[in-house]
């Protein structure tokens, strides 16, 4: 009898407790400020503009249209960088203990990590094809081609490192998403991949996210949050020939022949000489590392070559006697 009473008593207490728990209203998600909503809307609008410039480039047919579309696409990318580098874009909210400055750093870091993940995936794909070209496919086991043993062994080691770097990048991305929350993570991820599509089409050169507070440590309430440091590939460095080519470009870019119309036969001769030098620089810079500042220089050289070539052709059309 006593056992039955205890069971009834315990059931009554449990029922009362459940009723009290259900009676407590669930906490509503904290609404974000208007400033934060405006910042998120701004990034979305910049993404739409990037999409439009990408489409404009694809539909351009003449050299003039392509040049204009390229400039517009690069301007759209730069506008995105400017927005991410402006602390006001990230509102005034403190979310899950992270202030706007910490959220901004996480956003820029996530964007950089996404571009690096994109790059390493391409590297893995290319390395896989490279290894396949040096492999004899067997029924039970594969073996290297004769004379390719050492080269294939090194390629396999490089591929193992590539996969490790990919996994490290993904872990670092998860850490940034934890700071950003779902809304900001989705927005930054979407706009970065939209930009990468433009890069793949040859419109915008790779964005260099290393600016502003990006490399800073988050300092708040005496605590530090260190950004994961991932190894940079040696392919980020310029060769001696590329260094020399860039120096040559800085010197050649000061020529008035690049900014003024050609008005004499002597200038045509000088322009032809300048064009040959610029074409040599262009050739030396065609495989520069995938860093924005180097790619931008290569792009400027190409623009100068095309522009000067057109001016020389126009001058020859006016003066048919010019050899």
pLDDT in tens, 239-297: 888 888 888 888 888 888 888 888 777 888 888 888 888 989 888 888 887 776 777 78
Task: Look over the chain and give the mean of its residue pLDDT values, rounded to a whole number.
Answer: 78
What's the average model confidence in pLDDT over 178-194? 93
Residues 121 and 219 in one domain: yes
Is 52 a domain residue?
A: yes
Is 23 a domain residue?
A: no
Residues 187 and 206 in one domain: yes
Domain that holds residue 93: 34-231
Residues 205 and 276 in one domain: no
Residues 217 and 257 in one domain: no
Is 11 a domain residue?
A: no
Residues 98 and 220 in one domain: yes
Is 64 a domain residue?
A: yes
Is 17 a domain residue?
A: no
| Residue 80: exposure state from Cβ atoms within 10 A (0-12, 13-18, ≥19) | buried
Tell which of 231, 265, 292 closes a domain.
231
pLDDT of residue 43: 94
**Please, what's the b/e burial string for 202-214 (b: 16 or more CB within 10 A of its CB; e: otherwise)?**
ebbbbbbbeebeb
Residues 221 and 250 in one domain: no
Is 269 a domain residue?
A: yes
Residues 190 and 140 in one domain: yes
Is 105 a domain residue?
A: yes
**pLDDT, tens digit, 9 for 90 and up, residues 12-43:** 545 545 554 454 455 455 677 888 999 999 99
Residues 80 and 165 in one domain: yes
Tell which of 208, 231, 254 closes a domain.
231
Is 21 a domain residue?
A: no
Q: Which of 139-153, 176-190, 286-300 has the highest mean pLDDT?
A: 176-190
Please check whether residue 46 is in contact with residue 38, taking contact to mean a CB–CB distance below 8 angstroms: no
**Domain count along the chain:** 2
Residues 111 and 246 in one domain: no
Residues 260 and 150 in one domain: no
Q: What is the DSSP string of 239-267?
A: PHHHHHHHHHHHHHTT-GGGTS---SHHH
pLDDT interval class at 318 (50, 70, 90): low
Residues 252 and 202 in one domain: no
Tell which of 204, 231, 258 closes a domain.
231
């Amino acid at each position: 009898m006593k056992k039955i009473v205890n069971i009834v008593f315990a059931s009554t207490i449990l029922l009362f407790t459940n009723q009290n728990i259900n009676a407590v209203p669930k906490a509503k998600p904290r609404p974000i400020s208007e400033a934060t909503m405006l910042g998120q809307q701004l990034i979305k609008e910049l993404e739409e503009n990037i999409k439009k410039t990408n489409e404009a480039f694809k539909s351009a047919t003449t050299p003039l249209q392509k040049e204009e579309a390229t400039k517009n696409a690069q301007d759209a990318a730069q506008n995105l960088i400017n927005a991410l580098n402006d602390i006001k874009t990230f509102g005034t909210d403190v979310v899950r203990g992270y202030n706007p400055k910490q959220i901004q750093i996480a956003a820029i870091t996530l964007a950089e990590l996404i571009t690096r993940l994109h790059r390493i995936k391409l590297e893995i794909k290319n390395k896989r094809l490279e290894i396949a070209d040096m492999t004899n496919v067997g029924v039970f086991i594969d073996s290297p081609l004769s004379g390719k043993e050492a080269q294939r062994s090194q390629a396999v080691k490089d591929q193992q490192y590539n996969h490790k770097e990919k996994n490290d990048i993904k872990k670092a991305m998860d850490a940034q998403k934890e700071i950003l929350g779902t809304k900001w993570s989705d927005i930054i991820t979407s706009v970065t991949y939209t930009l990468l599509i433009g890069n793949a089409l040859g419109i915008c050169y790779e964005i260099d996210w290393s600016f502003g507070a990006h490399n800073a440590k988050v300092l708040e309430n005496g605590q530090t949050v260190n950004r994961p440091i991932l190894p940079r590939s040696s392919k980020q460095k310029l060769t001696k020939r590329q260094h020399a080519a860039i120096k040559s470009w800085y010197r050649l870019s000061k020529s008035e022949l690049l900014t003024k119309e050609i008005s004499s036969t002597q200038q045509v001769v000088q322009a032809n000489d300048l064009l040959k030098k610029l074409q040599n620089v262009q050739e030396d810079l065609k495989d520069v590392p995938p860093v924005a500042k180097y790619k931008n220089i290569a792009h400027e050289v190409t623009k100068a070559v095309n522009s000067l070539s057109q001016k020389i052709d126009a001058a020859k059309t006016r003066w048919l006697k010019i050899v």
